[in-house]
Amino acid sequence: MSTTSSDGTHFWVMSVDKPGVASATRSGTYTPRPGDTRQDAFDAIFDSITSGHPALSGATVLFFTLEPNRL
């Protein structure tokens, strides 16, 4: 998974919140592996956001979008 490179096949945005503790909105790109599902992408992106910020562990996802990275 790529979360910072601009050459991924999909563009994503995710907002998470842990009330009274922390919140974050991040975006990036994602290239799925063969056989990956949208759930796989969601889990990988959520993990990439929360793994570096322990305060966001168990946060609620307020917004998530995953779209093809083309115009």
Q: Give the Cα separation of 27 and 12 in Å (integer).
A: 5
Query: For residue range 53-67, what is the model confidence (pLDDT) as tens digits?
Result: 989 999 999 999 999
pLDDT at residue 30, as a whole number: 96
- List Cβ neighbours of 2 (8 Å cut-off, separation of 6 or more): 8, 28, 29, 30, 31
pLDDT at residue 52, as a whole number: 85
- Asked whether the beta carbons of 17 and 59 are under 8 A apart, the reply is yes
This prediction's pTM: 0.86
As a dihedral over the C-alpha atoms of residue 36, residue 10, residue 44, residue 26, rounded to 10 degrees, the angle is -170
pLDDT at 14 over 80: yes
Query: For residue range 15-46, what is the model confidence (pLDDT) as tens digits?
Result: 999 999 999 999 999 999 999 999 999 999 99
Given pLDDT bands bounded at 50, 70 and 90, which one contains residue 7? confident
Map residue 41 onto helix, strand or coil: helix
